[in-house]
A and B are shown apart, each in its own frame.
Chain A
């Protein structure tokens, strides 16, 4: 190992990086775009369930109280519909998934029931689209709000209460879930495609043959390449964290484990990249192989949504994928600091990374024969 050679090669790589718009895009802008995109898509869903259409045929005190309660929950965008409108045609025309009709005489019925507890409850009607999951969720919330009203009106105290405590850090939001996912994915992409691309370029241009006539050893070259890939990973990481913090109010725990996982991931995917270029000699084939490895990994390893949302079989598959352990580990390190998960994931990805990398070193050589 000669540090001058490693430094020279590392320098050449870094120059190649910032002088190439494509690599700058993939390492810096692409992760930022992903963060912005997913951040926007999922930003509001936690608080707001969308519009709720209410047609108030009653116009009495109790209908007003109900509308106020729905409104002040902050969960809906309450939209009032003129009492004269035909509900069915309005629903079709405006693609409405949940529509509340408060019938005429609603307030009177409530008042009557105050006087005589044996009378039936005053009913409202909810027209909803049974195939729409948002509608189901809205009905759930509406039911809760109406239960609250009933308790208040009947003056009873609850028997069973709920204390909901988030199981992850203070206020866990979707951004906390997917920021580690985007980091893991960006590092995978840049290490895998960076290594495949570099190897292919060097071979196609005959630079490998020239390097074979110089004293640089394969391991010196690999060390400088890993160093370079790690710097690329850290650039992506920084960009993602900055966007998360500045735009989406992400509050990540920054700690040594994060860097541990990023280093192990760089080893694992650079190693896979070396093996691909070892066995798939032509450029298109190698790119295709890298894609074939990357895409399933991206969607099955819990990058964008929790693995637990998938069917059992796919969950089992996920546990075979290296990226799953990076996701788990990074998420634990950034969000809930579950040491068991961190250690378990680090061991799995570490062993995998070392094995793949050593295979890569052993199986590739300068000599092309």
Chain B
């Protein structure tokens, strides 16, 4: 029976150079879906307790989504999972491009690497048996050079994921790259790949991906596509910035409909928020110490969405995406082109460091993509170093003469080069701000902003406490792509899932209500986590799901692709199971969930004296406990209770 998934995974033992195919029973897909759920199911008891994330016992899994290749839209996301060397927790990262269907076309829902190779290798899968091939000639090459060389060798059909020099040098903030500028950046899993001396995966399989009912999948896709294509002209980008300012001034907020965000994405990409976001307090400024006052429009115009768009010469769509938020941009200087800098990169390397130099944003974007280093963590670590410099904790002697004054773009470029090369102070910063503060000491810890060791993204919990909660409670701490009050509004899950609070589009509410730890907020955050596990099991793009559950029919696509007849509530239960398993993974590895709480500063402790989020504090302890209760985890420790584990059919051992 065709059910959209391939029913098999490949296990590669890099120490022995051996391959093993493993058939996955249907029941596993019914309980965990594919994608992130399958990865959690397989890695939970196979990564031994106390495993060194950079040691041979860690397992690195590349998984596709259940819906990938079935004819559903937005289903081109692949995920990589393993124990994170950055946080010591469950780690995963998510990426688009064209790599996700390639995993399935090799006949697998996932490819898992154990052990460690003695010399650099890459995995090649074509029509015949998988092979590990020598990658010595590729070691040291940047991600794009490597991809180009492998592409030349294996032809245009090969789909390639690689690490750059950052991953090779075990930078704890390194990721895994594909399609010359997409990166699965978070959780530091590039270092895990580097530790295994696995330079790349080259996939060129031709297997067909067959859903249960392609006609119905396509019908659902056509309806969804109509919503995506609806695009009235939006006018110049200054309009978005002014709306941001208005949202800051008003005492009330308005529930958002994802169609609005979709239109922004279609017009400019994620960068459409470059100026709006700092205005209304969504983006942190100056290492989270500053505010909208420090990053006014005349500074944020360095990344004006219209300005960025000027250099865009072609749109970039991930596989199966009708929206196309990405783009390719031309630039001058050492590199002639780059994938359009994303919102996160622009704000982390821009406002967070007070950097107004547009050219440096483009250059650093390309440089970090090639190095395979996370732009969020890199930017946040530089911002932290700048504050340490301001405070006199770091001096010119420490920085090899670099003046790390706020916004010094040329110093930033030089510093990031050092981080990639692990040279001088760059060697210390290459592992992110928490690790750097531990090495430097002298009170520098006070200026780090992280959750469990991961730098949070450019969305401020003091503006939307939902972000603060998810940063703090997710089994992959510091993650911004799971939930927020804003995301809940856009997912519109109450339209399909019983018992969830309604937040009708454009409904007006008082801003103060966002900061109350209510039962409804707990329901909302829990729903976001459950739903995103379903989405990541399906391999869907979060931006697609922002259109709302009626317009982007995740549950219906899943039923049509698999032939199941599950209710939305049953899917949410699957999401809950995956989340609980990931949390149980952390407990098994000695993580105290309470310790992953976001740093004080980013929670408004103490509150900011000025700006969009003036006077705001997130009641985080209560919100975390409430969230854990929603999952049936112990509200005082965050550990899943025996009862909950049993109810979800998990052993917890």
Q: Do A and B bind each other?
A: no
